[in-house]
């Protein structure tokens, strides 16, 4: 297996590139603090049924959903509190970019996690939400590959890049420099003045 590498392409500054296998594997490894122990693909989560019901009563088509798994290695690698983002497209479905590519899954599955935030785009222009959902649906049908290089305009997308692209570059001012790349983090969306908080279950 290869290690973490830095890459440089024409017009790009030197940046961090994580191997695909590392992101996939660390997303399934849980670290127990006491005693120190590692679990692969644990099944427990802190968001419970009553909290999920509250989320279902509030969430609307086009809402951006963030989640966090406590203790997972890829949460540690992601700057900030929130570790992942997706787009609620209605019909109890969330579309998001994961290690195996862009998928559509049941919102109940998405909420099997430790914290959830639901964000609503402020003053969405006519048709913007429909356009965003259509864009996300297109990516899910194509099964667009995950962007392990975290670079713009390479045909692949990471989770927040998918949300940003589907909302017509709405979060352009919320990118930040991380490990030599300019990326949009889930915390960047959470803090953006383009959204307002609809509901949050934070443990």
Report how far residue 98's alpha carbon sits from residue 160's, in angstroms, rounded to the nearest whole number: 11
Check residue 73 and give its pLDDT.
72
- So what's the pLDDT on residue 25? 65
Domains present along the chain, CATH in parentheses: 5-201 (3.90.1720.10)
Q: What is the mean pLDDT of residues 159-175?
A: 97
pLDDT tens digits along 25-58: 667 666 666 666 555 555 578 999 999 999 999 9
Contact call for residues 87 and 67 (beta carbons, < 8 A): no
Cis omega (within 30 of 0) on the bond before 35?
A: yes
Is 70 exceeded by the pLDDT of residue 5? no
Report the 10 Å Cβ neighbour count for 160.
28
Report phi then psi at 96, rounded to 5: -155, 160
pLDDT at 9: 45
Tell me the pTM: 0.80
| Mean predicted lDDT score pLDDT of the chain | 87
Residue 155 pLDDT > 80: yes
Percent of the chain having pLDDT more than 90? 67
What is the tens place of the pLDDT at every residue in 90-134?
A: 999 999 999 999 999 999 999 999 999 999 999 877 899 999 999
Q: What's the confidence (pLDDT) of residue 30?
A: 67
């Amino acid at each position: 297996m290869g290690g973490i590498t830095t890459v440089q392409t024409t017009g790009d500054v030197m940046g961090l590139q994580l191997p695909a296998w590392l992101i996939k594997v660390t997303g399934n490894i849980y670290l127990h603090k006491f005693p120190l122990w590692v679990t692969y693909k644990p099944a427990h989560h802190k968001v419970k049924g009553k909290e999920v019901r509250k989320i279902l009563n509030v969430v609307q088509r086009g809402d951006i959903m963030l989640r966090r798994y406590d203790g997972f290695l890829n949460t540690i690698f992601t700057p900030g509190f929130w570790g992942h983002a997706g787009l609620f497209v209605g019909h109890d479905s969330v579309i998001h970019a994961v290690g195996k590519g862009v998928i559509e899954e049941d919102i109940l599955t998405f909420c099997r996690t430790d914290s959830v935030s639901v964000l609503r785009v402020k003053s969405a222009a006519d048709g913007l939400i429909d356009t965003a959902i259509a864009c996300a649906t297109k990516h899910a049908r194509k099964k667009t590959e995950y962007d392990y290089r975290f670079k713009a305009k390479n045909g692949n997308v990471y989770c927040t890049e998918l949300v940003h692209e589907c909302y017509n570059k709405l979060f352009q001012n919320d990118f930040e420099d991380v490990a030599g790349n300019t990326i949009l983090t889930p915390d960047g969306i959470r803090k953006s003045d383009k959204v307002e908080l609809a509901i949050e279950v934070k443990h």
